[in-house]
Each structure stands twice: as structure tokens, then as C-alpha cells.
Amino acid sequence: MKVVVQRVSKASVTIDDRKVADIGSGLLVLLGIINEDTQEDIKWLSNKVANLRVFGDENGVMNKSLIDMNGDAIVVSQFTLHALTKKGNRPSYIKAAKPDVAIPLYKAFVKQLEIDLGKNVQTGEFGADMKIELLNDGPVTIIIDSKNKE
């Protein structure tokens, strides 16, 4: 399981001209899932995202987490995070989990993040053509892979 975490001043997700998610200060989390991902990956990665210290404290040092800031989050499924680009110029998505595996894991990740944060997490819509608008704050963009814990 892989995420791209972006600290945002605001972010939103629109599908067919309908805004389905909209937050102020918080994190936009793009989530990629592979077949080998498990509940252990979900718990580890959700905890990491919730506690990632990327928000400034009173001295401007990135020392506060989303929990500390009581910030909001949007989680968007993005199978392209597992693209293979070694051969040729056309990405291969063979590593990305198919919907029958990915959807339950995606929903479980969102639910676990809600538990970790103690609040609702907004989402995109799995498999939809989404338009994501964000104001990256910093910019702060971090990639975390549950298969690279060490």
C-alpha cells in the first residue's frame, strides 16, 4: 500500500460537476493498493498518516500531526501510484489491485483513518473520473510505502 500525502490549505474532489469532498487545512491522501496488501498495511499506514508531523508548531517547525491540528483529510484511490515505467513509455498498471480486492481495502483504510483521527474522513469515489483541486501548503508532499517500513 502506497500513499502520496500532500499538506494542503484546501482541497476538493469533483465528479461530473458535483463537489463530493471539500476540506480546509489538512491532508490530501492519494492511496494506491496492490494485491499483497493486508489489514496490517492498513493499520500501519493509517497510523503513519494520522501522526505524520508535517504541520508547523508555534515556532514554525513541522512538529504537529493532523491529529494535533484537528485537521481534515480527503482520501482518493489512485491505482496509478503503482505504475511500472521501466520498459518503454507506456506505464503498466499490472501491480495495482483489481477492484474486487482494492475496494474493500480502500474502504477499510478510510475507516481505520477515521478511527485514528476520531473524525470523518472525506473521500473521492472509487473508479470515478475525478477532478482534484488543491492548494499544496509548503509545498509538503511525502510518499509512504507500507512495504518499505525499515
Whether 123 is catalytic: no
**Is 38 among the residues known to form the active site?**
no
Q: Please tell me what DSSP assigns to residue 78.
A: -
Q: Is 55 a catalytic residue?
A: no
Cα–Cα distance for residue pair 107/83, rounded to 1 Å: 21
Choosing from 6, 55, 79, 123, the catalytic residue is 79
From the list 6, 78, 112, 123, the catalytic residue is: 78
In Å, how far from its chain's centre is CA 74?
7
Residues 144 and 11: beta-carbon distance below 8 Å: no
Distance CA 141, CA 120 (A): 22
Marked catalytic residue, from 6, 38, 55, 80: 80
Cα–Cα dist 107/98, whole Å: 14
Active site (catalytic) residues: 78-80
